[in-house]
Structure 1
Amino acid sequence: MLVVSRFRVPVGEGETFRAELAGAHAVLAERPGYVDGHVGRNLDEPELWVLTTRWENVGAYRRALSSYDVKMHAVPLLSRAVDEPSAYELVEPGTELNSASTRSIG
């Protein structure tokens, strides 16, 4: 499972944000089920940042978000992400894709 969180940050706040984002990434990386991740900044729009993380499955990611350390040190920053869907399934040859129905109730 792939999670893509994008952020708009004024250029003058970039270095501070970079450190905060790296800290949030480090806390997420300590959680079971974390595979890998990266912090990036857009080449054409330097105020656009991204945190991508890869997880063994959606359950591992959801459990990571509910952990105390992540709630304290990553969720406040993640809540500043651009409001858009962020969870993606990896599409590899021969894999069955998730159904088009939503996973939430209501």
Structure 2
Amino acid sequence: MLTFINRFTVTGTAAEFERAFERTSAFFAAQPGFVRHRLLRHADDPKAYVNVAEWEDRASFRRALEQPGFAEHRDALRALATGEPHLYTTLLERTA
């Protein structure tokens, strides 16, 4: 399992960013190897968001980024926010 985390600072309006992210979400959900994701908004800062996405593996994630339709989504989000994207592997997981 591979986890992609992207911290966003919204420079446009929150509503525009959320609409663009929803379209991007649908794009990624249709890609092979996509497992799930969550978009989180900071509790005290309405311009701060975090996307936490899980992928089966790095190859699936990379193939999704290489799809012809991805650039449109990337550019739409970049027009509305700055991002800090990083890939992580699980080191420890515990549930109640």
- TM-score category (smaller protein): 0.7 to 0.9
Which one has the largest radius of gyration? 1
Q: Could you say which structure has the higher strand fraction?
A: 2
Q: Following TM superposition, where does structure 1 have runs of at least 4 consecutive aligned residues deviating by more than 3 angstroms? A: 77-81
| 1:71 alignment partner, SS class | helix
Q: Which residue of 2 aligns with 1:8?
A: 9
**What whole-Å deviation, never above 9, does each CA across 1:6-60 have from its counterpart, x for those lacking one?**
11114x7001111111111110111000000111111021110122210000110
**What whole-Å deviation, never above 9, does each CA across 1:73-95 have from its counterpart, x for those lacking one?**
x2214544434x510012247xx
Q: What is the letter of the counterpart of residue 29 of structure 1?
A: A
Q: Which residue of 1 aligns with 2:18?
A: 18
1:62 equivalent to 2:62? Answer: yes
Percent identity between matched residues is: 26
Q: Which residue of 2 aligns with 1:90?
A: 90
Q: Gaps (5+ residues) in structure 2?
A: none
Give the total of aligned pairs.
90
Find the aligned partners of 2:9 and 2:32 in 1 and give their Cα distance: 29
Find the aligned partners of 1:78 and 1:92 in 2 and give their Cα distance: 31
Q: Gaps (5+ residues) in structure 1?
A: 94-106
| 1:22-101 pair list within 5 angstroms | 22-72=22-72, 74-77=73-76, 79=78, 80-83=81-84, 85-92=85-92
